[in-house]
Chains A and B, each alone.
Chain A
Amino acid sequence: MGCAPGGSADRAHALELLSPEELWALSRARLSLRRARTIAPGEHLSSRAGASLEFADHRPYQPGDDLRLVDWAVYARHRKLVTKVFSREVEAPVYLLLDCSASMGLGGKFLFAKKLAAAVLFLAFRGGDRFGVYPFSVSVVGVGRPRRGRPALVRAFQELMELAPKGRTDFAQALSSWAERGWEPGLCLVLSDFFAPGFRDGLLALRYGRHAVAAVQILAPEDLSPPVLGEVRLVDAEEGRARPAVVGQAACRTYQENLRRWNQKLAHTCEELGISQFLFVSDFSPVAAALILARRWRP
C-alpha cells in the first residue's frame, strides 16, 4: 500500500483536509481491535469463533460438529466430549458516524470533526480495512456499504468536504435506524458534541449490533468556558429557540456546572455500555486526536 493517495485529484481532495505532513504522521499508526499475528487482509481478530490457528475456547460437543475438532485429550481425562473453538480472523470495517447537526457548526467543531474523520479514514485505509462515512442528524444520510481501497477513500474525502452542518440531532432515531440495517460488526466511531438527549438509546443500538463503539465528543472552547456576554439573547443553534439572559461570571459558572453534569451522564452511559469515550476541543490538532484514538482505543 502506498502512503498517500496516488492520483492528482485524489491528492487534492486529501490535501484539502490533511496536509502532507499530517498524512505522513498518520501513515505510521494503525487502528485495530487487537494486534493480529498475521499480515493477511483484515488485521483485526474477531470475537466470533472461526477457523484459524489460534485456539479460543472449548464448548460442549453438539451433534454435527466436526469430529476433528473434538478434543480427545479432554475426553480421556474427563469423559466429556468437548469441541475446540478457534478464533476466526475477520476484518473489522470502520464506521464513522458524523454528527452534522447545526450545533456542530459553532466554534469550529465541524471542521475539526471532518479532519478527525479524514484522519481516521486514512488510518483505516492504511490498515487495509473497509470504511464508510455516515453523516447523521435526525437520520443517517449515507447507506452505502463500507469499501476498501483508494477510490473509496477519495470518495469518502469528497463526501466529507461536501458536508455542512444543519438541522438538529436525534441520536436515538438516527443511530437505531442505522444499526437496524444489520451492518457487519466493526469499529464504530460516533463524532458528535453529544448535546442532544437520547444518545444512550443510540449508543445502545450500536452495541446491540455488536460494534466496538467509541464516543468521540468534540466541544468548542466557548462550549467549555463561555465568555462573559452581558445582556444577550441566547439562541439554540439547532432548535432556534431563544432565551434572554444576562451572562456574567456567576451564570458562566452555573453553565459549566450543568455541562459537567451532562458530560458525567455521558461518561456513565459509556461506561455502562462498554463504550470508549474521548473528549477533544476543537482548537486541538485533529491529527493528534486521531493518533490518540489509534493509541488508546482498545475495544
Chain B
Amino acid sequence: MSFAAPWAWLWVLALLPVLILHFLRKKERDWPVSALFLWEGVRPDRPRFVERLRARLDLLLLLQALAVILSALALSRPEREIVRPAGPTLLVLDASASMAAEGMREKVLARAKDVLEKSTGPWAAVLWAEPPSLLFPSTADRELALSQLGRYAPRLTPRPELHRALALLPEPWPRVVVITDNPRGITGAEVVVIPRPENLGITAFSVRPSPDGVRYEAFLCVVNATSAYKDIQIRVISEAGEFWASRLVPPGEAEEVVLVLPGARAGAFVAELRPTDSFPWDNVRYFVLGGNEVATTWLGPEDRYLWAALRAGVSAYRVPENPDLFVAVSTNLPGDPPGPCLLVAAGCPGAAILGEAEPGPLSAASTSFLENLSLRDWRIGRVYRQEVPPGAQVLLWAGEIPILFLWESPSGRRAAFAVDLRRTNLPLLPDFPILIRNLLGWLLPQRPGRNVVVGEAVELPPGFSVVTELGAIQDLWVPEKPGIFRIETPRGPQWLAVNVPWETVEPEAPLVAEVPKPLPAKASVPLWPWATIAFLFVLGVEALLFFRRGG
C-alpha cells in the first residue's frame, strides 16, 4: 500500500489534543452506590498501572482516537497496487523487415488479439518500424480495435529506437506490450516474443569489373541461420547470362563466395539463393554498377583494386585535367586539388602524411559510412600517420591513429584513407567496394547512389525521375521494396538497386540475459473512500455513544 499524500499523516498529531482534553475533562468515571456512608473511611488503594489505565480508558476515547487515525488515513489518500492483466494497454507491433517472414503476420495478429481480449482497454497500437506510425489511436471499442489490427503489415525497413514509436502516444500508458521477434534492448515494457523462422540469406553482394575490363567479379556472403547444414545454390544473373555456384554452409555460419562473371559490359546484377525459405527478401539481392560517368584524375601510382572498387561505385573514367574527382594514391600532393579528392595513403596541404606506423586494433565511430562492413575481417598490416585537419570527422582509428577521416576544405570535399592497400586484405573483401561507394556518395553528393536500401531516401537531381508501379517520381523517392529500378536522366536511363539490409532481416540473436521479463500491468486502487466511510461510521458511533451517555 502506498500513499499519495503521506504528509497527511501529520493529522495524527490531533490525537494529542484529544487525549489532553479527555484527561482534563474526566478523570474518573461515576459509579453509583446504594450507600455512600458504607464507603466512608475506606482508605484508597494504590492501584496498579493496569487498573489505573483500565480506569482511565474509555470507549469514547478509543472511538475518538480511531476516528482521528482513520481521518489521517483518508487524508493521506492510500492506494493499493494490484497486478492485473486488464487496463489501458498500448500495443507496439514490430513491423520491421524481420517480421515480414511468411506466417509471422498471422502470429503477431493472434498474439495481439489475445492481449486485446484479455484486457479491459482502452487500447492503442503503433507500428514499430522505420518510420514508426500509429495503427489506431486510443479507443475503448474492442471491436474497432480488433478490426484495426487487420491493417498491420510488416515493412521492409529496420526498426528505430523504441522510444520513437512510444512518442507517437505521449500520454502515460500503464501497460505497454511489445510483440516482436527480437526483445533485445526493450526495457520497461511487457514483451511477447514470437520466434522467427529459420533463415538462409545473402548478407552482401557487390560486383566489380576486373581491371582489364573483360569480366566481372561478384562478391557474395551467404549465411546459414538454421540449425542444419545447408547446401546452398547461388545464381548470379547479369545481362551476359547466369552463373552458378554452390556451397555447403554449416549451421550458424557465413560463407563468402567470389564468382567470376565473364562477359561484356553489364550494369545490373541479381544474386539469388536456392532453396528459398520463408523470408524471400534476403534470398535475392540486387546490385547495379555506377551509371554516372565520373571523370577521374588519378594522382600517384596505379592501384587496380582501388580502380575496380571505384568502378563498382561509379562509372569512372580517366581524364588528365578538370575531373569530377581526384584520386591520390601513395603520394603527398604539393597543392590542394580543386574539387573532391579521395586520398588513399596520400597527403595534401593540411593533411600531410607524417610517416608509417604499426596499426592498433580498429575502432569505429558510429556512422553510416561504415554500415554493413565487417571490420573484424579486416587485416591491416601498415597504416600512415597523417595530419588531421581541424574540423575533420574521424570515422576509423587503428589504435590511436586516425586512418579514415573526412573534411571540407575550401577547394572541395576530402576523404583520407591512411592505409597501405598493398598490406591489407581489403581488396579481397566485399567491404572494400562498399566502403569506397559510401565515401564517393559523400564526395559526390549530387549523384544518387546506385545501391540503396529499402526506406532510404533517394534525392533525385533536377531532371531525374524514377519509374515505379505508381508512376514516375521526382525530387525525393523512398523505395518500399527491393528490386532494380529504372531512373530516367537527361543523359539516358540508369539503374538503381534497392535491397533489404541483412541486419534488418536477421537482427542479432537476442541474448537470453537481456530478455526483459514481462512487466506486470499495475493499477492503483484508491482506498481513501473506504477509509472515509470507516471514519464516518466511527464518528457516528462515537456521537451515538456520546449522546446516550447524556452528552
Contacts and interface: CB of A to CB of B under 8 A. Distances in A.
Interface of A: 103, 106-107, 109, 193, 195-196, 220, 223, 226, 228-237, 239, 241-251, 254-255, 258-259, 262
A194 to B, nearest CB: 9
Contacts of B29: 232-233
Contact of B41 (A235, A241, A258): A258
A244 B28 contact: yes
Nearest to A246: B44
B52 interface: yes
Contact of B55 (A103, A226, A230): A230
Contacts of A231: 27-28, 47, 51-52, 55-56
B45 A262 contact: no
B30 A230 contact: no
Contacts of A251: 39, 42-45
B7 interface: no
B424 to A, nearest CB: 101
A230 B54 contact: yes
B42 A195 contact: no
Interface string B1-45: 000000000000000000000000001111111111111111111
A230 B44 contact: no
A263 B299 CA distance: 140
B32 A250 contact: no
Nearest to B53: A230
A152 to B, nearest CB: 32
A262 B37 CA distance: 10
Contact of A230 (B33, B37, B38, B51): B51
B45 A235 contact: no
Given A248-B46, A248-B47, A233 B28 contact: yes
Nearest to B44: A246
A107 B31 CA distance: 12
B343 to A, nearest CB: 104
A237 B32 contact: yes
A236 B35 contact: yes
Contact of B43 (A195, A233, A254): A254
Contact of A242 (B27, B30, B38, B54): B30
Interface of B: 27-47, 51-52, 54-56
Contacts of B43: 250-251, 254
A233 B41 CA distance: 15
A232 B51 contact: no
A239 B34 CA distance: 10
22 contacts: A106-B33, A107-B34, A193-B34, A195-B34, A195-B35, A230-B47, A230-B54, A232-B55, A234-B31, A235-B31, A235-B33, A237-B32, A239-B36, A243-B39, A243-B40, A244-B28, A245-B44, A248-B51, A251-B44, A251-B45, A254-B42, A258-B40
Nearest to B27: A231
B50 to A, nearest CB: 9
A249 B38 CA distance: 16
A243 B42 CA distance: 11
Contacts of B33: 106, 226, 234-237
A23 to B, nearest CB: 30
Given A223-B34, A255-B42, 4 more contacts: A196-B35, A230-B47, A230-B55, A231-B27
A254 B30 contact: no
A250 B34 contact: no
A254 B38 CA distance: 9
Nearest to B52: A231
A106 B32 contact: yes
Contact of B45 (A106, A220, A249, A258): A249
List the 6 closest A-B pairs by CB distance, nearest first: A248-B45, A230-B55, A236-B36, A195-B35, A231-B55, A246-B44
Contact of B42 (A196, A237, A245): A245
Given A228-B51, A230-B54, A235 B30 contact: yes
Nearest to B54: A230
A232 B28 contact: yes
Contacts of A234: 31-33, 36, 39
Given A241-B36, A243-B36, A233 B30 contact: yes
Given A232-B29, A232-B30, A248-B51, A103 B42 contact: no
Contacts of A241: 36
Nearest to A220: B34
A235 B28 CA distance: 11
Contacts of A243: 36, 39-40
A229 B27 CA distance: 14
A236 B33 CA distance: 5
Between B45, B46, B52, B54, the greatest number of chain A beta carbons within 10 A of the residue's beta carbon is seen for B45
A245 B51 CA distance: 13
Contact of A233 (B31, B37, B38, B56): B31
Nearest to B51: A230
Nearest to A262: B38
B44 A232 contact: no
Contacts of A193: 34-35
Contacts of B32: 106, 234-237
B38 A246 contact: no
Contacts of B27: 231
Contacts of A229: 31, 55
A246 B45 contact: yes
Contact of B47 (A107, A237, A244, A246): A246
Contacts of B37: 236
Contacts of B38: 195, 255, 258-259, 262
B383 to A, nearest CB: 98
Nearest to A258: B38
A237 B135 CA distance: 85
B28 A103 contact: no
A231 to B, nearest CB: 4
A92 to B, nearest CB: 32
Contacts of A109: 34
A101 B55 CA distance: 29
Contacts of A246: 44-47
A48 B33 CA distance: 44
A234 B29 CA distance: 9
A63 B179 CA distance: 138
